[in-house]
Structure 1
Amino acid sequence: MSDLPGKRPEAGSPVVVQYFKYSGDLHWRHDMVFLGTDEHGVWLGGPAGTTIQRGTEPAKHWPSPFVQLIAPNRWWSLFFNGDYSDNYRVYVDVVTPATWPSPDRVEMVDLDLDVVLHHNRAVELLDEDEFLEHTSLFGYPDAIIDRARMTAAELMLALEAGQEPFATAGEPWLALIAD
């Protein structure tokens, strides 16, 4: 399952992931590698040392491996850290559906809300204050506001229930880059 344009990249090929704010400003940029696809979507890898950059801040290197799932036509993007991160086992951004301007670049708009799964299995909604601030500042349309809230609520339930791809689907992909 994939909505990649043109020829599918080979495993290990670089893919740039870019998140924008609703204003059009760059929010995050990650230099990932294409791992493959499955029934959930496109899996990208971030080995330890992956370059990430927030907006115009200096780039930094992420200390631990992680994988990212880009699911077609979904209003979320999943980061699976497994046991490698000190913070969260799973981190899900509420975003507009991803687009692929080219096979080596994927883009989406960050809608502020995030749902995380802690290592103790607690699920938490993050950045509600940022979402409320940006709905006014950026003028989110009502349809975007409703969709973001609905997506966050669905994600909370899915993570609490241990549904895939939020439970273990990322494990085999993470194993490809963790060693």
Structure 2
Amino acid sequence: MSGRDHNTGTIVKWKWSLASGECAPCFSWPVVQLGVDDHGIWLGSRQGNPVLQPDGQVELQTHDGVWLIPPRQYWIAAFWFTPATDLTIDICVPPYQQSDTFAFIDLELDLYRNAQGEAGIVDQDEFAALSAAQLVPPHNLDAAVSTADRLLALVEQRVEPFGTAAKPRLQQLQ
């Protein structure tokens, strides 16, 4: 990390292309490291943060956000606590860290909890297409389904870290 602040980094989201069969980075955004606890590594970024899109364009992040990268798990959570969305979870191959980059390969299943507390699993159609394309090993697909099912109950019941654990991290950004 020579010359860089040790508290900064980048999250890179990789996705499979069903057309080409290749896996490539499609989103990336700078983050600051907010700390580590029993839940994992906490990262954050502020409203207005640049987010590189798959088409090469940059969009600005619309709200402050906090990400949790748990060790050796098939998910990464994003906490927003906005009037519309409390959190979203990408089901993915276990994220990895290389220097100051945190990367994960999206397996297309996503969870959400809105501000009213309603939670669910979305993008099953995208997951089915990825599965049918046979680009991902079956054990990762099985882990994606079981992880999504297991996490849904925890998200609905606000079991930590899906309760209030991220709120102090969000306040660190301000």
What's the TM-score once normalised by structure 2's chain length?
0.89
Q: Does 1:21 align with 2:15?
A: yes
Q: In structure 1, what is the equivalent of residue 91 of structure 2?
A: 94
In the alignment, the residues of structure 2 paired with residue 87 and residue 162 of structure 1 have an alpha-carbon distance, to the nearest angstrom, of 17
In the alignment, the residues of structure 2 paired with residue 111 and residue 94 of structure 1 have an alpha-carbon distance, to the nearest angstrom, of 6
Aligned Cα RMSD in Å?
1.8
Give 3-state SS (helix, strand or coil) of 2:85's partner: coil
Moved more, 64-73 or 130-139: 130-139
Structure 1 portions without partners, runs of 5+: 1-6
TM-superposed deviation, 1:11: 8.4
In the alignment, the residues of structure 2 paired with residue 119 and residue 176 of structure 1 have an alpha-carbon distance, to the nearest angstrom, of 21
TM-superposed deviation, 1:138: 5.0
Structure 2 portions without partners, runs of 5+: 17-21
In the alignment, the residues of structure 2 paired with residue 90 and residue 53 of structure 1 have an alpha-carbon distance, to the nearest angstrom, of 21
Q: Does 1:68 align with 2:64?
A: no
Give 3-state SS (helix, strand or coil) of 1:21's partner: strand
1:74-113 residue pairs with structure 2 within 5 A? 74-82=73-81, 85-102=82-99, 104-113=100-109
Rate the CA distance shift 1:139–1:75 in 2: closer, same or farther, 3 A.
same
Rate the CA distance shift 1:68–1:12 in 2: closer, same or farther, 3 A.
farther
In the alignment, the residues of structure 1 paired with residue 6 and residue 171 of structure 2 have an alpha-carbon distance, to the nearest angstrom, of 14
Structure 1: 4+ residue segments shifted above 3 A: none
Kindly indicate whether the alpha-carbon contact (under 8 Å) linking 1:11 and 1:34 is maintained by their aligned counterparts in 2: no
Per residue, is there more strand in 1 or in 2?
Answer: 2
Rate the CA distance shift 1:56–1:138 in 2: closer, same or farther, 3 A.
farther
TM-superposed deviation, 1:54: 2.5
Question: Paired residues, what number?
Answer: 167
State the Cα deviation string for residues 19-59 of structure 1 (Å, max 9, x = none): 11243211221211111111111111111111112223401
Rate the CA distance shift 1:87–1:53 in 2: closer, same or farther, 3 A.
farther
Match of 2:114 among 103, 113, 118: 118
Q: In structure 2, what is the equivalent of residue 4 of structure 1?
A: none
Give 3-state SS (helix, strand or coil) of 1:25's partner: strand
TM-superposed deviation, 1:73: 0.5
Q: In structure 1, what is the equivalent of residue 19 of structure 2?
A: none
Kindly indicate whether the alpha-carbon contact (under 8 Å) linking 1:25 and 1:55 is maintained by their aligned counterparts in 2: no
State the Cα deviation string for residues 52-104 of structure 1 (Å, max 9, x = none): 1222340111121010011110110010112xx343101111011111111x1
1:1-179 residue pairs with structure 2 within 5 A? 13-22=7-16, 23-82=22-81, 85-102=82-99, 104-177=100-173, 179=174
